[in-house]
Amino acid sequence: MKRKIILLVILFFSWLTFAANPTIENYNTIKIERDSVENKNVDSSYAKIPKGITAEKVIDNYINALGGKENLRKVIDRTTIMTSNINGHKITMTIYQKAPDKMQQIIDLGAFKQNIFFDGSKGVMEVEGKKLEVNGSELEKLKYESTLDLLTNLDSIGIKLKLDGIDTVKGKDAYKIEMILPSGTKWIQYYNPQTGLKVKESKDITAPQGTYAQVTYLSDYREVDGVKYPFSIKQEVGQQNIEFTVSTIQVNTGLTDNLFEIK
């Protein structure tokens, strides 16, 4: 049971910084069906897009809704702590990030702990005394999701955007944006036209057991030092829903590089 829970938590984290490759053998995996939204014919939704709205404009509105480029670029490091409870198991997740692209994630279930590192070039997952390297397309995802200023540097990084119409998220219209990585991997994101904030994200995760779709819902945005962050994160994983509540976010506390060192 604990291994299954850990796998789901690994898949969960990509809303903020991570999409890891869960390569531990004998995990009890769950095949995740794609959100029905992904399979809809969205051609008619283009007629609903206001004149002048492009994918780049949607992202610019999102950046402004979060607090603006200047405030985003002021974030040199960030520590996020969130908790959840799955089948009676309390999970605490702590995420350390440092610009430009260093990250460590700690998942704590008491007797069971797991660490994920990205030091700027290499990604490793440590669990039950084993070190497993992240490779291929999952390493690319990990790199970009570990990048603190990703949104303000999409062009220089080589990430392309495509506005794919207007869809519905929890009964409300949302702009559907394809974020296309240099490798061709696509992240699907949904933004509220009124608030500008991201409300949903859908991504594929590739593991030896197969390819999985994860859908994450973001809400309860709160401001921390001039930047808004979602404090409620809900993820659909097959028939199971996982809900995390962010307890604290601290920025610019002076995190040192040795916190992200892979030994």
Residue 126 domain-assigned (yes or no): yes
Q: Is residue 261 part of a domain?
A: no
pLDDT band at 213 (very low <50, low <70, confident <90, very high): confident
Higher confidence at residue 6 or residue 28? 6
**Does residue 210 register a pLDDT over 50?**
yes
Tens-digit pLDDT profile for residues 99-109: 999 999 999 98
Most trustworthy range by pLDDT among 25-29, 37-41, 54-58, 206-210: 54-58
Maximum mean pLDDT: which of 116-130, 158-172, 235-249: 158-172
Tell me how far apart the alpha carbons of residues 50 and 45 are, in angstroms, rounded to a whole number.
Answer: 11
**What's the whole-number mean pLDDT along residues 212-216?**
84
Q: Does 50 have pLDDT greater than 50?
A: yes
Full residue range of the structural domain in which residue 84 is found? 2-249
Q: Does any domain span residue 101?
A: yes
Number of domains, the chain: 1
Round to whole Å and give the CA distance between 28 and 238.
Answer: 13
Band (53; pLDDT cuts 50, 70, 90)? very high
Does residue 255 form part of some domain? Answer: no
Q: Is residue 262 part of a domain?
A: no
CATH number at residue 54: 2.50.20
Tell me whether strands 77-86 and 186-191 are parallel, antiparallel or unpaired.
Answer: unpaired
The answer, yes or no, to whether residue 203 has pLDDT greater than 90, is no
Using CA atoms, how far apart are residues 44 and 29, in angstroms rounded to an integer? Answer: 36
Q: Which residues on adjacent β-strands are paired with residue 201?
A: 189, 216
Residue 263 pLDDT grade (very low, low, confident, very high; cuts 50, 70, 90):
confident
Q: Provide the mean pLDDT of the chain.
A: 82
DSSP state of 40: S
User: Average of pLDDT values for 1-22?
Assistant: 42
Residue 65 lies in a domain: yes
Does residue 181 sit within a domain? yes
pTM over 0.85: no
Given pLDDT bands bounded at 50, 70 and 90, which one contains residue 44?
low
In a domain, 259, yes or no: no
Residue 245: C-alpha distances to residues 83, 94, 196, 225 (Å): 6, 12, 22, 19
